[in-house]
Each structure stands twice: as structure tokens, then as C-alpha cells.
Amino acid sequence: MKTVQVITIAREYGSGGAAIGQELAARLGWKLLDRELILELSRRAHVQPSEVSQMDEHPSSFIARLLKAFWIGNTYTWSGPVPEVVDSDYLVELSAIVIREAAKLGHCVIVGRGAQCVLREREDAFHVFVYGSRQEKLKRIRNRYPAKTECEASLDEFDRIRTAYIRRYYQCDRANRHLYHLMIDSDAGIDRTVKVILSAAGLAIPEKR
């Protein structure tokens, strides 16, 4: 494996994957693509970030695909200009372009969005899957959203949606261990998890900035 220039983080909902990605980027001084990817997609697609967020890591529904086919035909492919209908299918294609551009520049941490599949062939990409116990994941969700009453239901629903997203657009099982160089339980905490990822990727472990 070449010197790691890119780390991708796939994660179970509530496992702290986003915070781990943020901490990795901060420790390494690398660019983070998470919320930043949503902002870039909204800029390129000329839509509001809130619209992108609603479709982010969500497979387009059967009804949505039928409507798209009705309005713009079954030969829909993205070739540069923004289409009349900005939907999940279009955003997946666009996000794959942004992910590949970021990976080409290197020194970046990419959270979610099927990056482990988009960059599967890159020898300088290190792919991580973060999971956790149900108890710890629920604790994180409740701490983050104290007013939320359906935390347990959302725990299953978000993972179901993300699994469907990867299956639909990349024909992969998100939990397939062969997609990753490391699968890690985050119950030990963000700091320890980050140190293990850096060590496994063969990167120096800088002190917190």
C-alpha cells in the first residue's frame, strides 16, 4: 500500500463517525469532506444546502425515478450542465466527481457518501468502518438531540437508509469487511479510536492541536 493520502470513514448512525473524521482531519491538518461536501454540491448544483441535505445519502425512491423518467426521459446521464431535476441520482454522480477530485489532491478525510466504494481502486486511500454498541450509540444520539423522542427508531432507520444507498448506487453491502482496511468499535471513545486509525494507516500520531 502506498503512503496514505486519503482516509474514508463509513459509519453506523450514532457511532461518532463524523466526530472521528473531524478529529482525524484536525490532527493531520488535512481537509475534511463531510458538511463541506454538502456545501460544495449545493454550489455546483445551484440548489440550497438544505435541499442537498434532504437527499444526502438517501437513495431516490421508485416514484421519484418514475417522475424523473417522465420529465427528462430514460436516457438521463450527467455530462456537466445542471439538469432540470436535481435529485439523489444526480447528486450521487456529482459527489463521486467531488470525492475523486479531493482524493487526487490528497490529504483529506471523507465521511460517508460511499467514498469507500468510489475510491476502492486507489492504493493511497485507507478505508475505515466505525461501529459501536447500541447502548453507546443511543447515548450519543440522546446527548446530541435531547428533545428527540424516537432515538431508537432513528438509529435503525438511518442505518437502513445508508445501507440501501450503498446497495443501490454501488452494488455493495455496506457491512462487507472486504471494503475496508479497518473496522473499529468506537465505544472506547473518539480519542482512542482516532489513535488506532492513525496507527493502522501507518501515519504519525500528532498531538492534539
pLDDT surpassing 70 at residue 25: yes
User: Is the separation of the CB atoms in 100 and 22 below 8 Å?
Assistant: no
Q: pTM (2 decimals)?
A: 0.79
CB-hemisphere CA count at 13 Å for 189? 3
pLDDT tens track for 32-65: 988 777 677 677 666 677 666 666 556 554 334 4
For 125-169, how does the pLDDT look when each residue is reduced to its tens digit (9 = 90+)? 999 999 999 999 999 888 887 766 677 788 888 898 889 889 989
Q: Is the pLDDT of residue 73 over 70?
A: no
Torsion of Cα atoms, 150 then 134 then 172 then 80, to 10°:
50
* Alpha-carbon dihedral sign for residues 69, 71, 72, 73: positive
Residue 127: φ, ψ to 5°: -105, 130
Domains and CATH numbers, the chain: 6-200 (3.40.50.300)
Q: Give me the count of residues in the chain.
A: 209
What pLDDT, on a 0 to 100 scale, did the predictor assign at position 98? 86
User: Of 28-32, 93-97, 180-184, which gets the smallest average pLDDT?
Assistant: 93-97
Kindly state the average pLDDT of the residues 66-82. 43
pLDDT for residue 68 is more than 80: no
User: How large is the average pLDDT for residues 111-135?
Assistant: 95
pLDDT at 17 over 80: yes
Q: Taking all residues of the chain, what is their mean pLDDT, rounded to a whole number? A: 81
Would you place residue 92 in the very low, low, confident or very high pLDDT band (cuts 50, 70, 90)? confident
- Please tell me the predicted confidence (pLDDT) of residue 153: 80
